[in-house]
Structure 1
């Protein structure tokens, strides 16, 4: 379990005596504590620093505790996505309607003044447990989300990712009138290779080729995905057909050098490279993913028998 030293707490109260009491209690528990004398100052601090826990008074000048809760919950800045912020409201208002109003505004807990040290400490420990559970939930969500866009066998992106990414790149290309190319890479004689080598060796070859492709492209600029069982798709922004052909030649050399060793036996393979490229134009209708893949397949079919590369430039 994380220690309290890993948590930062913001205390907002215009009453300096109460603020000091709460701050001393929390520092005594080992927390890093920041102070604000009103709601607006608290929100300004929140926008610049991620706080795991916010302890706020209700009645404050400039911005009330309710308004602070709503502002924090409505914040869409990148800082707001650093992790969940647990909000504990301190107030002398103890009616049921007040409790409902605080919870509806975004508070997680509601504590009536005067502050009782053991009760405050218990509520803070509860906050820590909830923050930890939320962090675990978010981590699991991100893992599932990432897994849904990654091919399990090869570790590169999958078709779903490329079907989402490619339209965005086409739109950007048209907006800024820049070049864009895609390259479809298909194994040659894959049925014979699989029959002679077996599925285990074939999967090892797919993994090796995927790793080679990932290492050969520009990181965070180009994208590679497993398009179908035995084809990879490489997305090359800011790259015209001629430049994409140069990339294909480099990939072909590395493919020819690639060897997979299984049980003291060596295996090699070759591939065809189908390239389609265009320069964006705001006046043109955007190309669909299916249409681009159709053009790339045509380029594959027309690949030069010696270079194994086919290129198609769209007008």
Structure 2
């Protein structure tokens, strides 16, 4: 019974005696039950509160059961609702019509208590299976855009998302900046301490970058090897340069303990960005990436552990 409390059931029936009977039976079984006197009221309730299980009569005023089923399917495209149609109609054509309207099952009135519970339990099994499948799909989607070592976004996600961010910034004439950073002398870390220690350094570096940006706004991706990209929508060039210096200092003070070794690193940064004055036709992911990569290369050539930046000119 405790398990049933997580399932909210919406009962739609214009007959007050039947409605009360279903409500009492389901509540006694431990379900959270809300009742509606017709299809229109049921649809309004569903729009305000999601119900994973709907038990609806066929013939009701204003909105009948089949129409209610179709409306609920339209209202909840991303979440599955298990719907049982209650009807005194027993013909095959009527049953097929109800199922075609979106119902998952049907129940002939007057309903037997044991049959009702059996059909509700079937619905719960379907909902649990659907949730497991949805969770598996979500996990696959997350894995497909995540770098397995560092847990941040991967190159595929960068290639997909960066052009979208740039187009949005250009369209609304908003500031947009991009940081590309690279761990200095990372090959020496691998050669001196081994690749497992190198992996630990990459993970610590990624955490350092992620901790410094705004959640749900900015994002960090692994561009390749020891190169990382920090994407800063709604951030002007001066703000990006300030963040880059804060990151540079944080990396410089970072201490990585791994494999019995204490490893310290530094990083170099390239910074570029768009402003409201940037020619829209010149802004593209390819051109910004090329610019920020050249700036990072300059920072490396000028001695590393430094920042090189300028606004994108097109």
> For this structure pair, what is the TM-score category when the shorter chain's length is used for normalisation?
over 0.9
Match of 1:314 in 2: 312
CA distance in structure 2 between the aligned counterparts of 1:94 and 1:291, rounded to whole angstroms:
67
Aligned residues: 311
Match of 1:167 in 2: 163
1:122 Cα offset (Å): 0.7
| Contact 1:57/1:90 (<8 A) preserved | yes
Q: Say yes or no: does 1:253 pair with 2:274.
A: no
CA distance in structure 2 between the aligned counterparts of 1:247 and 1:117, rounded to whole angstroms:
65
CA distance in structure 1 between the aligned counterparts of 2:158 and 2:259, rounded to whole angstroms:
35
CA 283–297 in structure 1, closer or farther in 2 if over 3 Å, else same: closer
Match of 1:6 in 2: 6
CA distance in structure 1 between the aligned counterparts of 2:249 and 2:255, rounded to whole angstroms:
12
| Contact 1:175/1:282 (<8 A) preserved | no
Partner secondary structure for residue 153 of structure 1: coil
Match of 1:192 in 2: 188
CA distance in structure 2 between the aligned counterparts of 1:182 and 1:314, rounded to whole angstroms:
10
CA 135–2 in structure 1, closer or farther in 2 if over 3 Å, else same: farther
1:286 Cα offset (Å): 6.4
CA distance in structure 1 between the aligned counterparts of 2:279 and 2:220, rounded to whole angstroms:
29
Partner secondary structure for residue 223 of structure 2: strand
Q: Say yes or no: does 1:116 pair with 2:132.
A: no
Match of 2:289 in 1: 293
1:2 Cα offset (Å): 6.5
Partner secondary structure for residue 235 of structure 2: coil
Match of 1:244 in 2: 240
| Candidates 277, 280, 298, aligned match of 1:302 | 298
TM-score of the superposed pair, with normalisation by structure 2: 0.93
CA distance in structure 1 between the aligned counterparts of 2:282 and 2:86, rounded to whole angstroms:
55
| Contact 1:69/1:87 (<8 A) preserved | yes
| Contact 1:179/1:279 (<8 A) preserved | yes
Match of 1:57 in 2: 57
Unaligned runs of 5+ in 1: none
Match of 1:131 in 2: 127
CA distance in structure 1 between the aligned counterparts of 2:215 and 2:269, rounded to whole angstroms:
21
Query: What whole-Å deviation, never above 9, does each CA across 1:25-70 have from its counterpart, x for those lacking one?
Result: 1112111111111111100000111112100011111111011000
The range that moved more, 93-102 or 179-188, is: 93-102
CA 34–187 in structure 1, closer or farther in 2 if over 3 Å, else same: same
CA distance in structure 2 between the aligned counterparts of 1:238 and 1:75, rounded to whole angstroms:
33
1:162 Cα offset (Å): 2.2
CA 281–103 in structure 1, closer or farther in 2 if over 3 Å, else same: farther
The range that moved more, 164-173 or 176-185, is: 164-173
1:114 Cα offset (Å): 1.7
Unaligned runs of 5+ in 2: none
The range that moved more, 245-254 or 182-191, is: 182-191
Match of 2:42 in 1: 42
The range that moved more, 279-288 or 57-66, is: 279-288
Match of 2:17 in 1: 17
TM-score of the superposed pair, with normalisation by structure 1: 0.93
1:281 Cα offset (Å): 6.2
Partner secondary structure for residue 218 of structure 1: coil
Match of 1:147 in 2: 143
CA distance in structure 2 between the aligned counterparts of 1:97 and 1:282, rounded to whole angstroms:
65
| Contact 1:180/1:280 (<8 A) preserved | no
| Contact 1:277/1:314 (<8 A) preserved | yes
